[in-house]
Amino acid sequence: MANIVQFENVGLRYGTGPETLSDVSFTLTAGAFYFLTGASGAGKTSLLKLLYLAQRPSRGIIRLFGEDAVTLPRKRLPGFRRRIGVVFQDFRLVPHLSAYDNIALPLRVAGIPESDIEGPVREMLAWVGLAERANAKPPTLSGGEQQRIAIARAIIARPEILVADEPTGNVDPDMAERLLHLFGSLNRLGTTVVVATHDFHLLNRIPNAQMMRIDNGRLSDPTGSLRFPPRAPDDSE
Q: Where are the domains of the chain?
A: 95-158
The Cα–Cα gap between 147 and 167 comes to 7
Helix, strand, coil shares of the chain, percent, nearest 5, are: 35, 25, 45
pLDDT of residue 221: 60
pLDDT above 80: residue 154: yes
pLDDT of residue 234: 45
pTM as predicted:
0.86
Predicted confidence (pLDDT) per residue in 166-203, tens digit:
887 767 777 778 888 888 888 998 999 999 987 777 77
Contacts of 190 by beta carbon, 8 Å cutoff, 6+ apart: 30, 31
pLDDT above 90: residue 122: yes
Predicted confidence (pLDDT) per residue in 170-179, tens digit:
677 777 788 8
Sheet containing 3-13: order of strands: 19-29, 3-13, 59-64, 67-68
The Cα–Cα gap between 59 and 71 comes to 11
pLDDT of residue 90: 86
User: What is the average per-residue pLDDT within 125-154?
Assistant: 92
The Cα–Cα gap between 36 and 213 comes to 6
User: Confidence class of residue 235 from pLDDT cuts 50, 70 and 90?
Assistant: very low
Give the residue among 195, 101, 202 at the shortest CA–CA distance from 152: 101
Tell me the β-bridge partners of 161.
84, 192
Average pLDDT, the chain: 87
User: What is the average per-residue pLDDT within 21-37?
Assistant: 94
Element (H, E) at 213: strand 210-215
Give the residue among 186, 109, 197 at the shortest CA–CA distance from 155: 186
pLDDT above 50: residue 233: no
Q: What percent of the chain has pLDDT over 70?
A: 92
Other beta carbons less than 10 A from residue 47's beta carbon = 27
Predicted confidence (pLDDT) per residue in 45-84, tens digit:
999 999 999 999 999 999 999 999 999 898 998 888 889 9
pLDDT above 70: residue 228: no
